Structure 1
Amino acid sequence: MQINTVGVIGAGTMGNGIAQICASAGLKVVLVDIADAALDRAMSTIDASLDKLIRKESITDSDKQQTLGNIHTATDLQALAGADLVIEAASESEQVKLSLIRQVDEIVSAEAIIASNTSSISITRLAAASSRPQRFIGMHFFNPVPVMALVELIRGLQTDDRTHEAARAFAETVHKTAISVRNHAGFAANRILVPMINEAVFVLQEGIASAEDIDMGMRLGCSHPIGPLALADLIGLDTLLAVMDVLYTSFNDSKYRPAPLLREMVEAGYLGRKSGRGFYRYPA
């Protein structure tokens, strides 16, 4: 099927990034959030991101204006009625996602695809909230979306071949490389990555090394482009905790136990870059 209009639910870090890459690829985008303030912040973020690309001479000012012109914002889910693909990029809460999927299911056409950007929640379980579960799929983008080349395509038990191929074609349209992954807790990348970050938090918690030395050790000793604790701050500590909780519950294995320090930092509101403080401090 041809995807011309993409709806994105959630104007946060992931949502505005997905909106940007879709609009830059020439697709029409409807970005929906419950608050006008969130939409304004999202558009400012996209504007600044495009300005960086202009300074790098990757795009022209004309390209920027065309991209911004392709994005329309709304606070009402009804604005998604004409979308060929709707990508849910709300917070990593199963109940929030299920509620949104049920609402969107009643708004979009029978041919539309509904996708979730969840990083850990069962696609089969989310698809069951839709009246057309065969047209539901997981599309897990990585942060920052305009920079990271990967998207995981996760088929639920109900997802049909046509939906999977349409999602793969869409990934190519927005210049991403897609990998196909079974529906399993944490999928592929996060099943490996997030426990590694969690172990780095344990190392910090136990006083084995400072945050700076842990990150330097992984950068210089393992050739990682960014240290695990700095990456945690970029991803968001609340998101990481949610993924670890899903892994721990799904596998009932103590190796997936969230580090107590990670949970305590989330309780304190130290969520990383988005809150100004995580394992490091960030200027406002």
Structure 2
Amino acid sequence: MSISSVGVVGAGQMGNGIAHVFALAEFDVVLNDIDRGAIERALKLVETNLGRQVNSGRITKKDAEAALKRISTTMTLADLGATDLIIEAATERESVKVAIFEDLVPHLGPNTILTSNTSSISITRLASRTDRPERFMGFHFMNPVPVMQLVELIRGIATDDQTYQTLKEVVERLGKTPATAEDFPAFIVNRILM
């Protein structure tokens, strides 16, 4: 499956970094948060960080401007329904994440892939609360997202091979390094740090 559009739920530290790297890699991004102020701060931070990349010579001003134009925003989860891939990057509380996925499901196309940027919550458990456990994975970016190269890919018990392969290709398109992790508490990186 080809991914061209990405919905990011949560405009905090992780969400804005995720929106940044996807927009820079030429994906259309819809950034969602329940707080308009968080969205505005996220866009400003993305703009600032893109400016730093321009000043350091890593990207051109034209690249930065194009990336910013690829990010649209919404406070309504239903607006993410037309995206190919959704990355949940909300607060690290299972009840919050479950509520988000349950609210999203009625608005999704049949091929939309759901992911969570969780650093420790069971992917299998989260996936079981959706209508598509076979199209659900953990997609754990490291902080700060624009700088860190590693992305953990965590399969749930029902995740199919096509979903895994699609996300692996997305990570490579971002210029990052995929690491496959088992669905155990804290996955790889956080287990090492514990």
The two structures have a TM-score, normalised by structure 1, of 0.68
Residue 84 of structure 1 and its aligned partner are, at CA, apart by: 0.2
1:98 deviates by: 0.5
> Computing the radius of gyration over CA atoms, which structure comes out larger, 1 or 2?
1
Question: Alignment identity in percent?
Answer: 45
3-state SS, counterpart of residue 107 of structure 2? coil
Count of equivalent residues: 194
Give the structure 1 partner of residue 56 of structure 2: 56
CA shift at 1:102, angstroms? 1.0
1:129 counterpart residue number = 129
**In structure 2, what is the Cα distance between the partners aligned to 1:104 and 1:122?**
19
Structure 2 CA distance for aligned equivalents of residues 149 and 32 of structure 1 = 24
- List, as ranges, runs of 4+ consecutive aligned residues in structure 1 with deviation greater than 3 Å: none
Distance in 2 between the 1:131 and 1:115 partners? 13
Tell me whether 1:140 sits opposite 2:118 in the alignment.
no
State the distance in 2 between where 1:63 and 1:191 align: 36
1: CA distance, partners of 2:51 / 2:9:
24
Q: Distance in 1 between matches of 2:97 and 2:122?
A: 11
* 1:174 shift after superposition: 1.1
TM-score by length of 2: 0.99
User: Which stretches in structure 2 are left out of the alignment for 5+ residues?
Assistant: none
Separation in 1 of the partners of 2:106 and 2:151?
A: 27
Return the letter of the residue paired with 1:170: V
C-alpha distance in structure 2 between counterparts of 1:70 and 1:166, whole Å: 21
Tell me the equivalent position of 1:72.
Answer: 72
Distance 1:117 1:175 in 2: 18
Q: Which runs of 5+ in 1 are unaligned?
A: 196-284
User: 1:93 & 1:112 partners in 2: Cα distance?
Assistant: 23
Tell me the alpha carbon deviations over residues 161-215 of structure 1, each in whole angstroms, 9 at most, x when there is no partner: 111001101111111100111100000110111x2xxxxxxxxxxxxxxxxxxxx
Specify the SS of the correspondent of 1:106.
helix
Alignment of 1:223-242 (within 5 A): none
Question: Following TM superposition, by how much is the alpha carbon of 1:44 offset from its aligned partner in structure 2, in angstroms?
Answer: 0.5
SS in 2 for 1:79: helix
Q: Structure 2 CA distance, aligned partners of 1:111 and 1:170?
A: 15
Structure 1 match to 2:149 = 149
* Letter in structure 2 aligned against 1:75: M
Query: Whose relative contact order is higher, 1 or 2, with alpha carbons under 8 Å and at least 6 apart?
Result: 2
Shift in Å, 1:104: 1.3
Distance, in Å, in 1 between the alignment partners of 2:27 and 2:179 is 22
- Supply the distance in 2 between the matched residues of 1:81 and 1:100 (Cα, whole angstroms): 13
Partner of 1:100: 100
Structure holding more helix per residue: 1
Matched residue SS, 1:151 = strand
- In the other structure, the counterpart of 1:13 is 13
In the alignment, what sits opposite 1:253? none
Deviation sequence 1:106-154 (CA, Å, 0-9, x none):
1111101000000000000000001111000000000000000000000
Amino acid at match of 2:102: R
Provide the secondary structure at the position in 2 that maps to 1:137.
strand
| Separation in 2, partners of 1:104, 1:25 | 25
